[in-house]
């Protein structure tokens, strides 16, 4: 029986996380794999790790990192002062897709949002990710919004 | 010449902000105007104000609050460790719509994201807000994503 666990990412996990971010049709064009642990990733990790409202998570299978996502807890006045949990940068390692690990990762993430007192969990996904859309539909998410991005 | 200014929201602004959040077809069903300054809003304000990655902003016209939005700065490993600026809870006061104030508010917000070093500005908007979609299109945002929400 494989042992699945979830924990806060450590600095030593950066290369494994960046490799998963890059191993993706969209991510491949965005990441720098030439020097895993490049300064830009180190600095971003420091900023995430220092922020109590950020939780960069890894999922491990028998101790090896096989998934990641980032939770951001956003306080706001809207909806009677509701806390939101936002999920970004979701990946399951290529060799472990279609094994139900994505669902385990999301069940964990949603439980974590609930434990923190979030009243909403939100995420956006590129319009081209049809498989992801079916996955979020199955999990009970509602595709109620349009996600806009402006590159600076 | 009207004097438009932008500043960090203060606790005394909560009733004005909540009134703007509620004065909206979607927001009307979500907010509690019975006691402006209800504890849930006070607590949320405290959480926002204590978080250096949150910037709840108000726009003033001759000193009166006429607009609001909330910026959240999100560090992440994705896109070579890019910082994102996220915009939530955008409102312009009912008596001041169609005067170009929304555009002024966004120009200010985008400049603020740029000054913080963000490489992306992102937001989601309900699929039913057709006027908002035209507004974001005009500002140069790309409607590239689907926004999913799960209510807990």
Beta-carbon count within 10 A of A137 CB:
12
Residue range A59-85: mean pLDDT, rounded: 96
- Complex ipTM, two decimals? 0.94
Q: Which range among A71-75, A91-95, B25-29 shows the weakest confidence by mean pLDDT?
A: B25-29
Residue B146 within any structural domain of the chain: no
Query: Across the interface, do B149 and A122 touch by the CB < 8 Å criterion?
Result: yes
Query: Across the interface, do A142 and B150 touch by the CB < 8 Å criterion?
Result: yes
Distant-in-sequence, close-in-space partners of B112: CB < 8 Å, separation ≥ 6 = B55, B57, B71, B85
B31, B130, B145: best to mutate for the A interface, most A CBs within 10 A:
B145
Which neighbouring-strand residues pair with A54? A72
Task: Give the domain CATH number at A75.
Answer: 3.40.630.30
Helical segments of chain A, H only:
14-22, 39-49, 78-81, 101-116, 130-138
Res A132: pLDDT: 93
Res A1: pLDDT: 63
Residue B143 within any structural domain of the chain: no
pLDDT in tens, A104-143: 999 999 999 999 999 999 999 999 999 999 999 999 999 9
By percentage, how much of chain A surpasses pLDDT 90? 85
DSSP at B1: -
Domain count, chain A: 1
Residue A144 within any structural domain of the chain: no
Residue B149 within any structural domain of the chain: no
Q: Are strands B4-8 and B54-61 parallel, antiparallel or unpaired?
A: antiparallel
Res B36: pLDDT: 66
Residue A85 within any structural domain of the chain: yes
Print the domain residue range for B8: 4-138
Distant-in-sequence, close-in-space partners of A70: CB < 8 Å, separation ≥ 6 = A48, A54, A55, A56, A57, A87, A88, A89, B76, B77
Instruction: Tell me the pLDDT of chain B (152 aa) as tens digits.
Output: 689 999 999 999 999 999 999 988 887 888 887 776 789 999 999 999 999 999 999 999 999 999 999 999 999 999 999 999 999 999 999 988 888 999 999 999 999 999 999 999 999 999 999 999 999 999 999 999 999 999 99
pLDDT in tens, A25-52: 887 788 887 776 789 999 999 999 999 9
Q: Mind telling me how many Å the CA of B59 is from chain A's nearest CA?
A: 16
Residue A71 within any structural domain of the chain: yes
Going from the C-alpha of A70 to that of each of A34, B115, B138, the distances in angstroms are: 23, 24, 31
Res B111: pLDDT: 98
CB pairs under 8 A between A and B: 215
Work out the end-to-end distance of chain B between its first and last CA atoms, rounded to an integer number of angstroms. 47
Q: Are strands B84-92 and A120-126 parallel, antiparallel or unpaired?
A: unpaired
Find, among A3, A6, A11, the residue nearest to A109 by Cα: A6
Query: Across the interface, do B147 and A110 touch by the CB < 8 Å criterion?
Result: no
Residue A39 within any structural domain of the chain: yes
Res A152: pLDDT: 96
Res A133: pLDDT: 96
Find, among B132, B47, B139, B35, the residue nearest to B92 by Cα: B132
Query: Across the interface, do B77 and A54 touch by the CB < 8 Å criterion?
Result: no
Res A31: pLDDT: 84
């Amino acid at each position: 029986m494989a042992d699945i666990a979830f924990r806060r990412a450590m600095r030593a996990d950066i290369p494994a996380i960046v490799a998963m971010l890059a191993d993706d049709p969209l991510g491949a064009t965005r990441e720098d794999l030439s020097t895993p642990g490049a300064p830009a990733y180190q600095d971003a990790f420091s900023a995430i790790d220092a922020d109590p409202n950020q939780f960069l998570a890894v999922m491990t299978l028998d101790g090896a990192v096989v998934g990641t996502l980032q939770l951001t807890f956003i306080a706001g006045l809207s909806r009677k002062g509701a806390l939101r949990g936002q999920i970004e940068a979701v990946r399951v390692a290529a060799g472990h897709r279609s094994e139900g690990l994505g669902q385990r990762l999301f069940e964990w993430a949603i439980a974590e949002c609930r434990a923190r007192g979030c009243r909403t969990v939100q995420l956006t996904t590129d319009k081209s990710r049809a498989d992801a859309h079916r996955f979020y539909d199955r999990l009970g998410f509602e595709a109620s919004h349009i996600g806009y991005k402006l590159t600076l």
